[in-house]
Amino acid sequence: MSDIRKHFSNDLFSKIPVPIDDEGSWMAITNGYTTLNAMKTFLSITDSSDDTLLEGLIESASRSIDRIANRRFYLDSTASARKYRAYSELFTYVDDIGTTSSLVVKIDDDGDGVFETTLTVDTDFLLDPLTASSLGRPFTQLTMVNTLNVWPVYPGLFSNGLRPGVEVTAKWGWPSVPDDIETACQILTADLYKRKDSPGGILGLGDLGAIRMSPLGRDVTAMVRAYKKEVVA
């Protein structure tokens, strides 16, 4: 397969993550926010000549949305462990938890780096926001409700320093891709697709000069902004 980079300006590759291998060929969709068939319907495409190109652009658009939002909207297929510092004895911020399946929460009772106590959801702690499941959104906070336990908080002057005291094993991400995120992905993918025939973003020439495409991703950024996650250090 020929190097697909020849279809686009070099400036494009500096603005978005492009999933290409060393030979310049598109890599398949991985955790994309729309499907090939949905994208072809969106663009009114009926043949398969650009299928590989579209798959690569869907992947690029999806990862661009991740970067705009500071989060991702797909759900891990398997659980993995992450460690956190509690910001108080009652609350711990966590990354997006998309399901309670495979969820395990442990605490380090004495600051030695060993997470020896396993807690039980709804008995020892709650997952917040409480409305997350009904709204199709992830859980982002653990709230301690067992009065016999607290989240370990280790001030920096202690011998264990700022060692994380909470370990969470979970399937990270969102329960499912929100409808407007899928639409944003389709808009950005379509924009990228059209640019292959518009070098430098120029659609054509009019009486007043060059007719240019709108800035890449402007509408998408506005759509994704509502989902943007503020990073907590």
Q: Same domain, yes or no, for 22 and 69?
A: yes
Amino acid (1-letter code) at residue 15: K
Mean pLDDT of 6-15: 48
Structure pTM?
A: 0.79
Read off the DSSP letter of residue 184: H
Overall domain count for the chain = 2
Q: Same domain, yes or no, for 164 and 90?
A: yes
What pLDDT sits at residue 12? 46
Q: What is the pLDDT of residues 180-210, one digit of tens each?
A: 999 999 999 998 888 776 555 555 545 554 4
Q: Same domain, yes or no, for 94 and 133?
A: yes
Q: Which domain holds residue 134?
A: 80-170
Torsion over CA: 195, 196, 201, 204 (sign): negative
Q: Same domain, yes or no, for 161 and 102?
A: yes
How confident is residue 232, by pLDDT bands cut at 50, 70 and 90? low
Structure tokens at 30: 């991985």
Q: Same domain, yes or no, for 152 and 122?
A: yes
Q: Same domain, yes or no, for 9 and 58?
A: yes
Q: What is the pLDDT of residues 59-87, one digit of tens each?
A: 999 999 999 999 999 999 999 999 999 98
Residue recorded with tokens 């902004």? 225
